[in-house]
């Protein structure tokens, strides 16, 4: 399997893990190669109920069709935990506006008491905001979130095995309070935006992302200076490596850059992204890889605009402050005052 083959994302069937020892080893070898070289793939055989997926997409559409005032009633700027609705152009990637609207839904946990002696990332834990006129959204989304968390866990354990580790090597840093974030996202057509940037080129945090695409394409993955299209394939999720796995393997697994282009005029795009992360108070371990894999270690990506931290809470807050400057100004003004440069997030 050579590096030159990636002109499309491969399709991996996770049900092969239960198809006997030989098939499992073949799957793990393919998974390891794909994750090392490309960092993205389609996943099939995942077992998530197609009817649940249909309900999630239907309710996503209903949410985005709500009147503007109802969506703004749960605007993210109300939440120090970065939960709730973000209007078009109000999230940023590398300082540029992302032309999408979305609702961020995390774990349903109480806010922690404010204590100036605690790290600022303690403020990230807290409750979600839900639209009052769409009560069924909460039940369905939390059911879906649980289902795709199970998929993510199976993928993470498969990665662990593929790297010659115990399948539970990471359990201590995401059990019992790992960060799980889900985004319902709508990208409007080109006539409603100021640019082609649906979301700018970036990497994801956390262990893995489980992405559900509806019917409209737009996702692209960077590979050796080119962009690979990743259109929707019914019955699949797109899986990609997050920064936690890049950190834990010192770059053997690739957290790869990707972007979403604005849909064509008159068409919008729906997607549902689930991010499976570690506990905020965890430190990412550095795995000792078998000698035959250690030869492929690349080291961490060096990006002055996106430094990576082994401290999970610090890494998470960095990304949130940079992406949502309105929330940062309202709820993290004390941090902003400590920073003289525009690159305020890089220290947190």
pLDDT tens profile 60-107: 999 999 999 999 999 999 999 999 999 999 999 988 999 999 999 999
Examine the pLDDT at 342 and tell me if it is beyond 60: no
What are the φ and ψ backbone dihedral angles of 201, each rounded to 5 degrees?
-60, 130
Of the pLDDT bands very low, low, confident and very high (cuts 50, 70, 90), residue 3 is very low
**How would you class 303 by CB atoms within 10 Å of its CB: exposed for 0-12, middle for 13-18, buried for 19 or more?**
exposed
Within a domain: 252: yes
Of the pLDDT bands very low, low, confident and very high (cuts 50, 70, 90), residue 2 is very low
Within a domain: 311: no
The domain tally of the chain equals: 1
Within a domain: 331: no
Read out DSSP for 239-273? EEE-HHHHHHTTTSS----EEEEPPPTT--EEEEE
Pairing of strands 180-187, 91-93: unpaired
Average pLDDT of the residues in 318-331? 91
What pLDDT was estimated at residue 63?
Answer: 98
**How would you class 342 by CB atoms within 10 Å of its CB: exposed for 0-12, middle for 13-18, buried for 19 or more?**
exposed
Q: How far apart are CA 251 and CA 255, in angstroms?
A: 8
Within a domain: 56: yes
Domain that holds residue 29: 3-304
Angle at 65 between CA 61 and CA 70, to 5 degrees: 120
The CATH number of residue 49's host domain is 2.60.120.330
What pLDDT was estimated at residue 340?
Answer: 37
Largest Cα–Cα distance in the chain? 58
What pLDDT was estimated at residue 4?
Answer: 54
pLDDT tens profile 123-168: 999 999 999 999 999 999 999 999 999 999 999 999 999 999 999 9
Within a domain: 112: yes
Query: Which pTM was predicted?
Result: 0.93
- Residue that wins the pLDDT comparison between 259 and 303: 259
Within a domain: 336: no
- Residues of the chain with pLDDT > 90: what percent? 83
pLDDT tens profile 42-60: 999 999 999 999 999 999 9
Buried-exposed string 143-158: b where 16+ CB fall within 10 A, e elsewhere: ebbebbbebbbbbbbb
Examine the pLDDT at 348 and tell me if it is beyond 80: no
Examine the pLDDT at 35 and tell me if it is beyond 90: yes
- Residue 3: other Cβ atoms inside 10 A: 11
Within a domain: 315: no
What pLDDT was estimated at residue 66?
Answer: 97
- Residue 313: other Cβ atoms inside 10 A: 24
What pLDDT was estimated at residue 339?
Answer: 61
What is the crossing angle of helices 50-64 and 136-162, to 10°? 130
Q: Which two tokens stand for residue 96?
A: 């540029």
Examine the pLDDT at 186 and tell me if it is beyond 70: yes
Within a domain: 329: no
What pLDDT was estimated at residue 347?
Answer: 41
Average pLDDT of the residues in 168-184? 95
């Amino acid at each position: 399997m050579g590096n030159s083959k990636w002109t499309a994302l491969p399709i991996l069937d996770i049900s092969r893990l239960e198809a006997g020892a030989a098939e499992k080893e073949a799957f793990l070898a393919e998974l390891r190669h794909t994750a090392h070289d490309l960092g993205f793939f389609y996943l099939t055989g995942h077992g998530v109920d197609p009817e649940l997926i249909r309900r999630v997409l239907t309710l996503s559409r209903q949410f985005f069709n709500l009147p503007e005032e109802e969506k703004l009633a749960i605007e993210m700027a109300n939440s120090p935990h970065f939960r709730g609705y973000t209007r078009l152009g109000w999230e940023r990637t590398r300082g540029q506006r992302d032309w999408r609207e979305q609702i961020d839904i995390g774990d349903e946990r109480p806010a922690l008491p404010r204590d100036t002696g605690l790290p600022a990332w303690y403020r990230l834990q807290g409750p979600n905001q839900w639209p009052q006129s769409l009560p069924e959204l909460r039940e369905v989304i939390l059911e879906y979130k649980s289902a795709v968390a199970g998929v993510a866990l199976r993928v993470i354990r498969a990665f662990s095995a593929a790297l010659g580790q115990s399948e539970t090597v990471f359990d201590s840093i995401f059990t019992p309070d790992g960060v799980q974030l889900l985004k319902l996202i709508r990208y409007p057509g080109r006539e409603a935006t100021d640019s082609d940037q649906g979301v700018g080129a970036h990497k994801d945090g956390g262990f893995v992302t489980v992405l559900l695409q509806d019917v409209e394409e737009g996702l692209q993955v960077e590979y050796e200076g080119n962009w690979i299209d990743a259109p929707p394939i019914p019955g699949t999720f797109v899986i990609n490596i997050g920064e936690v796995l890049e950190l834990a393997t010192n770059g053997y697994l690739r957290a790869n850059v990707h972007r979403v282009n604005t849909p064509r005029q008159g068409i919008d795009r729906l997607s549902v992204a689930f991010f499976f992360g570690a506990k905020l108070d965890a430190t990412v371990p550095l795995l000792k890889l078998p000698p035959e894999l250690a030869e492929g270690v690349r080291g961490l990506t060096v990006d002055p605009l996106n430094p990576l931290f082994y401290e999970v809470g610090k890494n998470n807050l960095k990304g949130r402050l940079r992406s949502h400057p309105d929330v940062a100004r309202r709820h993290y003004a004390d941090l902003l005052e400590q920073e003289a440069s525009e690159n305020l997030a890089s220290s947190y």
